[in-house]
Amino acid sequence: MSEEVVSKNFIEMIIDEDLSEGKYEEIHTRFPPEPNGYLHIGHAKAILVNYGLAKEYGGKFNLRFDDTNPTKEKSEFVESIKEDVAWLGADWEDRLFFASSYFDQMYEAAVKLIKKGKAYVCDLTADEIREYRGTFDTPGKNSPYRDRSVEENLELFENMKNGLYADGEKVLRAKIDMASPNINMRDPVIYRVAHMTHHNTGDKWCIYPMYDFAHPIEDAIENVTHSCCTLEFEDHRPLYDWVVKELEYPHPPKQIEFAKMYLTNVVTGKRYIKKLVEDGTVDGWDDPRLVSIAALRRRGFTPESIKRFVDLCGVSKAQSSADYAMLEYCIREDLKLSRPRVMAILDPIKLIIDNYPEGETEYFDVPNNLENESLGSRKVPFSRELYIERDDFMAEPVKKYFRMFPGNEVRLMNAYFVTCTSYETDGNGNVTVHATYDPETRQDGREVDRKVKGTIHWVNAATAFPATVRLYENLIDEEKGVYNEDGSLNLNPNSRTVLENCMLEPSLKDAKAYESFQFVRNGFFCVDYKDSQEGAPVFNRVVSLKSSFKLPN
């Protein structure tokens, strides 16, 4: 019997080679978010790739906050990110780190570069630095401050630290090569003056390291072996390598870039989401119409569905986009066998079974999921008055309409055959349907000697409870694309429909936050954690039942 061939992605191949050559004894990865907003579906890929590699190779995984820019960072974002990473199942154990915890070491690293003649304090303004840098076609030119002595640079850098200069008055730059074909290597700024209160260090510092300088130092301090990031950092890798080489770390980490995850017709930009939140277009960073991880969790997506989605997208160097329908496919696949199927009437009208005994209630033993017997069954009450969906009745049926209309017989799911006899409409347009039932057709395993083409679901009027149900569509008008010519968003005016007084079977009344169910014929629904109250759950539709998405062969 031949062994199964396991296909590996290019990062795994690099790690295999590094291990075989003895470069590293243990694999160590990290996820390093900046706490300046909520994470989205693209970050989920980065989390799962880095954690997955550590787990696959029996190594370690760190969660580290790259909090080097106090102008945009908040403790709220730190807490939301921790919750998201934990929810996805990425266990950092006791390795929760902050870049700000290394500010002393970063300062000493900068002093070391100055002493080596590899860094200098520069007085050029940001615009002048940009002008001196040159273009892709023309080399840059040296700053007039590039040849300051080591002693002068040490004094000026200490003065920067001691708050003697205003924001932007001076910066510390690496001394590399102003003629480098890679613009990132043209004496990049590695420290700037910023008189800002930091969420972690308070007012201790008024200078802060730049990301490209801080990140490799953090990786090296934490003994990270493979620093896996997205492709926009590929041109920054020479600077990453330069920093760890010049600072002489004994076991330098290796940066590897992979393609980002792009999802069609969704909004992921923090600037846009922030505006949507501030304008009240959405009700927070976790609005179920967004694709932040918090929003997906609130809507009812599961960690398993997102892992499946990331696996289907794969890890490569090639940029590509995934259709939102593929994400919906993944949650359907996860929920269809694991969630109970219940009856809920979203647009109710009354059905009265005239020949059913008044005041009597019976109970049907209904399986929770026909495809998964382990979910058991529940008792569902049935009596003379029921609710059915408005579109399950037509006074004048169209062709091939097999549900309820005068003279037609249908099956009430899990119950009896009923024949519509009449209907009445009040002054407000409310319809009441009348029917008779055949007691010989009770659905308890016996054979029925006739067939019907229509089956409809229902809830018992006396025991049903009213609930709010929210239906979601894409936040973006897909026909027009994500952005208008002026850069604003093409919003779908029907992205959220709120249905009040839906009638649900009593088993749902005590549903808890994040519990999810399949509502027969209507889709999968999840209890909203934010707006639900005890005994009064609010349900968000996770996804409809039908999909146009097909897995490629």
Write down the pLDDT at residue 371.
Answer: 93
What is the C-alpha to C-alpha distance for residues 406 and 397, in angstroms, rounded to an integer?
9
What is the H or E stretch that residue 105 is in? Answer: helix 103-115
CATH number, span 262-343+465-553: 2.40.240.10
What is the C-alpha to C-alpha distance for residues 487 and 493, in angstroms, rounded to an integer?
18
Residue range 49-87, pLDDT digits in tens: 999 999 999 999 999 999 998 888 888 899 999 999 999
Write down the pLDDT at residue 70.
Answer: 86
Write down the pLDDT at residue 4.
Answer: 54
Write down the pLDDT at residue 3.
Answer: 52
What is the C-alpha to C-alpha distance for residues 418 and 195, in angstroms, rounded to an integer?
76
**What is the b/e burial string over 395-419, where b = at least 16 CB atoms within 10 angstroms of the residue's CB?**
eeeeeebebbbbebbbbbbbbbbbb
Q: Which two tokens stand for residue 12?
A: 């795994």
**């994040």: which residue's tokens?**
514
Determine contact, residues 343/380, Cβ cutoff 8 Å: yes
- Angle (nearest 5°) at CA 422 between 417 and 423: 110
**């030119």: which residue's tokens?**
141
Determine contact, residues 433/423, Cβ cutoff 8 Å: yes
Determine contact, residues 335/302, Cβ cutoff 8 Å: yes
Q: Which two tokens stand for residue 130?
A: 């940009």
Write down the pLDDT at residue 7.
Answer: 81
Determine contact, residues 513/531, Cβ cutoff 8 Å: no
DSSP one-letter string for 423-459: EEE-TT--EEEEEEEEGGG-SSS---SS--S-EE--E
- Percent helix, strand, coil in the chain, to 5, is 30, 25, 45
Write down the pLDDT at residue 37.
Answer: 87
Q: What Cα–Cα distance (Å) separates residue 515 from each residue in 300, 301, 553?
A: 8, 11, 33
What is the C-alpha to C-alpha distance for residues 181 and 349, in angstroms, rounded to an integer?
72
Task: Cite the residue boundaries of each domain of the chain with CATH code 3.40.50.620.
Answer: 10-258
Q: What is the pLDDT along the chain (553 residues), one digit of tens a residue?
A: 445 556 899 999 999 999 999 999 999 999 999 998 899 999 999 999 999 999 999 999 999 999 998 888 888 899 999 999 999 999 999 999 999 999 999 999 999 999 999 999 999 999 999 999 999 999 999 999 999 999 999 999 999 999 999 999 999 999 999 999 999 999 999 999 999 999 889 999 999 999 999 999 999 999 999 999 999 999 999 999 999 999 999 889 999 999 998 888 888 888 888 889 999 999 999 999 999 999 999 999 999 999 999 999 999 998 888 888 999 999 999 999 999 999 999 999 999 999 999 999 999 999 999 999 999 999 999 999 999 999 999 999 999 999 999 999 999 999 999 999 999 998 888 899 999 999 999 876 566 778 899 999 999 999 999 999 999 999 988 878 777 777 788 899 999 999 999 999 999 999 999 999 999 999 999 999 999 999 999 999 999 998 655 655 5
> 3-class SS at 133?
helix
Write down the pLDDT at residue 2.
Answer: 46
Q: Kind of pairing, strands 262-263 and 254-258? A: unpaired
Report the half-sphere exposure of 433 (CA within 13 A, side-chain side).
28
Determine contact, residues 242/249, Cβ cutoff 8 Å: no
Q: What Cα–Cα distance (Å) separates residue 479 from each residue in 265, 320, 476, 483?
A: 9, 20, 9, 11
Residue range 232-274, pLDDT digits in tens: 999 999 999 999 999 999 889 999 999 998 888 888 888 888 8
| Phi/psi at 379 (5° precision) | -95, 125
What is the C-alpha to C-alpha distance for residues 490 and 488, in angstroms, rounded to an integer?
7
Domain 10-258, CATH among 3.60.10.10, 3.40.50.620, 3.40.50.280, 3.40.1280.10: 3.40.50.620
**Residues sharing a CB contact under 8 Å with residue 512, sequence separation 6 or more, in sequence order:** 527, 537
Q: Which two tokens stand for residue 85?
A: 């990473």
What is the C-alpha to C-alpha distance for residues 229 and 223, in angstroms, rounded to an integer?
16
Write down the pLDDT at residue 146.
Answer: 97
CATH number, span 344-457: 2.40.240.10
In this structure, the chain runs to a length of 553
> 3-class SS at 101?
helix
| Residue 537 exposed, middle or buried by CB count within 10 Å (0-12, 13-18, 19+) | buried
Write down the pLDDT at residue 248.
Answer: 96
Task: Cite the residue boundaries of each domain of the chain with CATH code 2.40.240.10.
Answer: 262-343+465-553, 344-457
What is the C-alpha to C-alpha distance for residues 318 and 20, in angstroms, rounded to an integer?
27
What is the C-alpha to C-alpha distance for residues 244 and 252, in angstroms, rounded to an integer?
6
Write down the pLDDT at residue 194.
Answer: 94
Instruction: Using alpha carbons, select from 447, 386, 385, 441 the residue that is nearest to residue 414.
Output: 441
What is the C-alpha to C-alpha distance for residues 257 and 233, in angstroms, rounded to an integer?
7
Q: Where are the alpha helices (DSSP H) in 348-424?
A: none
